[in-house]
Structure 1
Amino acid sequence: MTQSNDGLVESLARELRLQRGRWGLQSPDLRTRTAAQPLLTRVFGVAPEDSAGEVRRKALTAISRLTSDFPAEMRTAIDYALAISPEARFRTLSERETTLSEALQCSVRTARRRVQEAFNRLAEEAAAEHARLSDRARASDGPEDGWAVRSLESLLRLDTATPEVTETRTVVALRPGLRRIVTRFSLARLPAGTATAPDVQAEVQYGATLHAPGRREGEGHFLHVLDLPRELHVGEQHEYSMTYRIPEGYVIRPYYAFVPLVSCDTFRLRVRFGPDRLPTRVRRFHGIAQRRLADADLPGEPLDLDAVGEVAPTFDRIRAGFAYGIAWQPAAGDARFDLG
């Protein structure tokens, strides 16, 4: 077994251990928990738009398939540990292990060992399944595929000569040999008759290099292909940072939104307003439909500026395709923003 396969098995074993927590596959937060596990998401075949019930159904189907050749005792250990078996739908893993010991007529300590042995085997089978999926997709996998985002940290500075955003991402490889990824940045569409969105100035701060000059994808949308320093193994993480600068004189909409296209665990945002141009109101929005970003008055909960004119909201339970961020009411006379 190669080192990369060892790493894949270990990463999947870690994700499977987390699935044993609380109510197992019966947990109310199963959808959110699985979304934060990119390897199992792929093995289970879960899509971002899947409901909680669909995630549970896909997980049960995948585990049944992966364990079809397991000895009966191993399948029983997995069914009890994950609360699949109707006889083991208890709130804690320790309760389920106690019930398993009664079913197997052994001590709790032995039952716990049986669970570990079964999950070691399950991680190996899941790794083999993940490798098969990667092999089938390898021919068509481009820089937009085969990776997910663990975390995004964004710093939006509005106290500079022109607005600038620094985005720091931690990505995780979902296929072997990942060396190239993409990043996108968009300026909100302004009313007809206003200036065409300018070319955004993009600069890598660290962790990657630009593969080629960025390209437009329609009005106000920019795509950059990044080369990573080296190939990543499956499950390996890497951090990079980019800064985007808006050319002077271009009017923008008064909001910053993150709309993930791939899975992301956490998003942390910090916005620094200029001390002489503080907004009159700031709101935090969480998981709104992307089309709502065109509204003149975005919904959300109010945020207070701190003593240095900043807000720093955090976001979790992130779903692909929905918008997360803040909107603000600019100070009177602040000509940098268009209110729609």
Structure 2
Amino acid sequence: MRSRVVDEQVVGVQIADVVTELKEIRRGRGVRSDDLHNRVGRALRMACGITGIDDPALVRRKLVLQLTHLSARLPSDLDLAASVALGLHKEADGGFLDQRIDWLATRFDRDPRTARRRVDSAFQLLAELLYDVGMRDRKSGSYSPDGWYVESLRAALRLDLDVPTLTEQRQIVAAVDELDELVLSLSAPRDQAMPEEGPEIRAEIAYGGEIVEEQRVSSGHTRFVVRLPSPLSLGQRHDYSIKFTSYPRSWMRPYYVFTPLRRCEGFSVRVRFDPANPPSRVWRINGLPSKAFEDFAPGEDRLHIDRVGDIALEFHDLQQGLSYGLQWEPPIR
């Protein structure tokens, strides 16, 4: 009987219902309203994975994260319009709706009526995205339990250097208020023929924070505590870049993978091999269980190295606990 009721609720929701619920949410202080949990309708509950046992703080958290995530898919002007109207925008989240609309009109250099029409357009598109999510019945477990998730990760691995470097640029989203530090980690397994002792994993922040603590877990795994420039509020995005170095290239095992342990929307990587001595074969690793690729069986998805030694890959909708990246066969000597 329970599953039958859920099916009836899903069928009964229309995009127009989602628009109506968004307009209800934007009243007053928007997502910052004290009574927000009482104003979230069934369409938004389904799209955001909100259940009947969630407390008000968790309802707000799930709603803000989903609205922030989906609004970012809109054109930039409509993303701004939706964010301001809902009270998600950091610079315009303190006032009531009329004040936020006035702020938006000033930002667009238009009159308030034009700003409201822009909000209506944004809500229509946002409602379509929310409706699609609700139909897929996404689970709330995709939200990071420890304060933040990764919206995008871009990595550049230099294997043409004697000591390889890995540079990451990440955009993260805070899943809690007052998030002021991150714990990052890197595993760099060594070839079994190489000594356990030797150079350690090092990291340097290019922008977006500072490393305040290093924790060497093992010879091939180090954690870094990064303090952010200022605390993030729930749903706020933040960009940072970090560069890792470790030991000589000859010590490295022939693969590079990213295994997300939290929600990650997109991952891209560009690897530069030594063009004078490239691998004999390279193949994609696309969602394999952790460590399964170490059997070193060449995959069917072979990759081509361009004439300067580069390979570029993209992955979307990554699953937590699975590995994504590439593996290669060392050059024939």
TM-score, normalised by the number of residues in structure 2: 0.60
Cα deviation for residue 189 of structure 1 reads 5.1
The structure-2 alpha-carbon separation of the partners of 1:220 and 1:84, relative to structure 1 and needing over 3 Å to count, comes to same
- Deviation track 1:238-265 (CA, whole Å, cap 9, x = no partner) reads 1111111123375111110000111100
Determine the C-alpha separation between the residues in 2 that align with 1:229 and 1:328: 38
Contact kept in structure 1, 2:164 and 2:249, CA below 8 Å: no
Gaps of 5+ in 1: 1-56, 61-78, 98-110, 136-143, 334-340
Correspondence list, 1:288-327, <5 A? 288-327=288-327
Corresponding residue for residue 242 of structure 1: 242
Correspondence list, 1:43-122, <5 A? 84-86=9-11, 93=14, 97=16, 114-117=20-23
The structure-2 alpha-carbon separation of the partners of 1:130 and 1:245, relative to structure 1 and needing over 3 Å to count, comes to farther
Return 120-129 or 319-328, whichever deviates more: 120-129
The structure-2 alpha-carbon separation of the partners of 1:187 and 1:114, relative to structure 1 and needing over 3 Å to count, comes to closer
Contact kept in structure 2, 1:286 and 1:300, CA below 8 Å: no
Contact kept in structure 2, 1:285 and 1:300, CA below 8 Å: no
Corresponding residue for residue 72 of structure 2: none
- Residue 276 in structure 1 maps to residue 276 in structure 2: yes
Cα deviation for residue 326 of structure 1 reads 0.5
- Deviation track 1:103-161 (CA, whole Å, cap 9, x = no partner) reads xxxxxxxx7864544565896326994635899xxxxxxxx921111111110001122
Cα deviation for residue 277 of structure 1 reads 1.3
Contact kept in structure 1, 2:283 and 2:299, CA below 8 Å: yes
Determine the C-alpha separation between the residues in 1 that align with 2:216 and 2:245: 15
Determine the C-alpha separation between the residues in 1 that align with 2:228 and 2:240: 9
The structure-2 alpha-carbon separation of the partners of 1:148 and 1:161, relative to structure 1 and needing over 3 Å to count, comes to same
Corresponding residue for residue 253 of structure 1: 253
The structure-2 alpha-carbon separation of the partners of 1:298 and 1:168, relative to structure 1 and needing over 3 Å to count, comes to farther
Corresponding residue for residue 149 of structure 2: 148
Contact kept in structure 2, 1:255 and 1:328, CA below 8 Å: yes
- Residue 168 in structure 1 maps to residue 93 in structure 2: no
Contact kept in structure 1, 2:280 and 2:328, CA below 8 Å: yes
Corresponding residue for residue 181 of structure 1: 182
The alignment of Structure 1 onto Structure 2 pairs a total of residues equal to 226
Letter in 1 for 2:232: L
Corresponding residue for residue 216 of structure 1: 216
Determine the C-alpha separation between the residues in 1 that align with 2:211 and 2:12: 55
Determine the C-alpha separation between the residues in 1 that align with 2:206 and 2:231: 19
Determine the C-alpha separation between the residues in 2 that align with 1:241 and 1:112: 37
Corresponding residue for residue 157 of structure 1: 158
- Deviation track 1:73-92 (CA, whole Å, cap 9, x = no partner) reads xxxxxx9xxx834456xxxx
The structure-2 alpha-carbon separation of the partners of 1:277 and 1:113, relative to structure 1 and needing over 3 Å to count, comes to closer
Determine the C-alpha separation between the residues in 2 that align with 1:300 and 1:268: 20
Contact kept in structure 2, 1:153 and 1:268, CA below 8 Å: yes
Contact kept in structure 2, 1:200 and 1:247, CA below 8 Å: yes
- Deviation track 1:190-211 (CA, whole Å, cap 9, x = no partner) reads 43x6311631121111111011
- Deviation track 1:162-207 (CA, whole Å, cap 9, x = no partner) reads 111111111110100001001110012543x631163112111111
Corresponding residue for residue 19 of structure 1: none
Determine the C-alpha separation between the residues in 2 that align with 1:240 and 1:161: 26
Contact kept in structure 2, 1:134 and 1:175, CA below 8 Å: no
SS in 2 for 1:264: coil
Determine the C-alpha separation between the residues in 2 that align with 1:130 and 1:152: 31
Contact kept in structure 2, 1:292 and 1:298, CA below 8 Å: no
Determine the C-alpha separation between the residues in 1 that align with 2:257 and 2:314: 12
SS in 1 for 2:287: strand
Determine the C-alpha separation between the residues in 2 that align with 1:182 and 1:316: 23
Identical columns (%): 31
